[in-house]
Amino acid sequence: MHPPPVESIAAAWPPVGEARAGTLAGMPPLASSVGLPPLGELLDGLVVVRISLRVRFRGVIEREVALLRGPRGWGEFGPFLEYGPRESSRWLACAIEAAYAGWPAPVRSAVPVNATVPAVAADAVAGVLARFPGCTTAKVKVAEAGQGLADDLDRVAAVREILGPDGRIRVDANGGWDVASAQRALGALAAYRLEYAEQPCAEVADLVVLRTSLARNGIDVPIAADESIRKAADPMRVAREGAADLIVVKVAPLGGVRRALEIVGDCGLPAVVSSALDTSVGMAAGVALAAALPELPWACGLGTLALLEGDVVADPAVQHGGVLSVSAEPPQVDEALVARWSAEPERVAWWTERVAAAYAHLLA
């Protein structure tokens, strides 16, 4: 049996909608001459690295990813460890796109980025922001398990003090609040002039209720949907039900740059691009998405490399002056750095089985 074309990778999960309108309508599919590579070929070029984090981030202290090598360069397969094969298959599609097909042409040469502040104590905020020189926008994690609203207020207040009155602040709750808690928290946090609140509640229906309630109570905090887009069987529901003012898109969980562009076009909402604790290899795909969006009104969450202790690329994808430069090609890994961060053989075996399981879903 011949392998299916790479363009069929995007069909491994339900379609995002029938309409293809506007600037994205003419976006070419992945070249039909490029086949879904054989599993053995993918595994032959697989390496696994484990890189420590400078500070705990969403409960993670180390980032472990697999890197795949193809004719166009390297792709990153890094679904978080708790993700199953079906969800992980989207991350594999993204890695294959980078390694075998490349990305759409960019429409901009640089992408603005935001600083990312984990759920640290207020007195640690200055040290975190120092790793993002030149960034005038900060995303602050809130609703952390084991913490309370007072912790969030102290952290956001510290960010506002450092960024000054002209800095932009957005908060990310990762769905950690119910509607009542979200309204109470955002009512208090609004004093720091939030740019938006990302995924304050987990359920789309709750986002609808919260957004309406905030408007009725004069609380001017726009709502952004993240998990409701990248983890949803129906990403269009957010726009259809009026659950958000904008969407946050991560290229790997959506299946690649082209797939993410389709979702943004179908949603019809402003989009900000974010990352998932990627190395420079994975970050390059996020930058490619941000560079290809017809409009980019927001600073993007593509500066998280600063949270890692190391990288696999000699010239890492770090921001300078608050922006990342755009490259049309995936970065090349440095063998010495791969050796520095290489994972144990048993972890390589675990990731090999994981790639195989995700691959099976792409063939389904």
User: Any idea what the CATH number is for the domain that residue 78 is in?
Assistant: 3.30.390.10
The catalytically annotated residue of 90, 141, 259, 361 is 141
In this predicted model, what pLDDT tens digit does every residue of 232-258 receive, in sequence order? 878 889 999 999 999 999 999 999 999
The number of distinct structural domains making up the chain is: 2
Judgement on whether residues 115 and 99 belong to the same structural domain of the protein: no
Judgement on whether residues 120 and 228 belong to the same structural domain of the protein: yes
Assigned domain for 153 exists: yes
Judgement on whether residues 185 and 99 belong to the same structural domain of the protein: no
Judgement on whether residues 255 and 354 belong to the same structural domain of the protein: no
- Average pLDDT, rounded, for the chain: 89
| Of 184, 236, 240, nearest in space to 14 by CA | 236
Categorize the per-residue pLDDT at 3 as very low, low, confident or very high, splitting at 50, 70 and 90.
very low
Assigned domain for 25 exists: no
Judgement on whether residues 145 and 240 belong to the same structural domain of the protein: yes
**Which domain covers residue 289, as residue numbers?**
110-325
Q: Is 250 a catalytic residue?
A: yes
Judgement on whether residues 11 and 96 belong to the same structural domain of the protein: yes
Helices 179-189, 204-216: inter-axial angle, 10-degree rounding = 40
pLDDT value, residue 10: 37
Assigned domain for 118 exists: yes
CA 332 to CA 72: how far, in whole Å? 10
In this predicted model, what pLDDT tens digit does every residue of 24-40 receive, in sequence order? 333 333 433 346 899 99
Q: Give the pTM.
A: 0.88
Q: Is 231 a catalytic residue?
A: no
| Of 10, 8, 60, 4, nearest in space to 261 by CA | 10
Q: Pick the more confident residue, 9 or 330.
A: 330
CA 147 to CA 144: how far, in whole Å? 6
Judgement on whether residues 176 and 236 belong to the same structural domain of the protein: yes
Judgement on whether residues 118 and 232 belong to the same structural domain of the protein: yes
CA 107 to CA 278: how far, in whole Å? 23
Judgement on whether residues 80 and 138 belong to the same structural domain of the protein: no
The catalytically annotated residue of 160, 170, 230, 250 is 250
Judgement on whether residues 121 and 98 belong to the same structural domain of the protein: no
Judgement on whether residues 50 and 94 belong to the same structural domain of the protein: yes
Assigned domain for 269 exists: yes
Judgement on whether residues 236 and 96 belong to the same structural domain of the protein: no
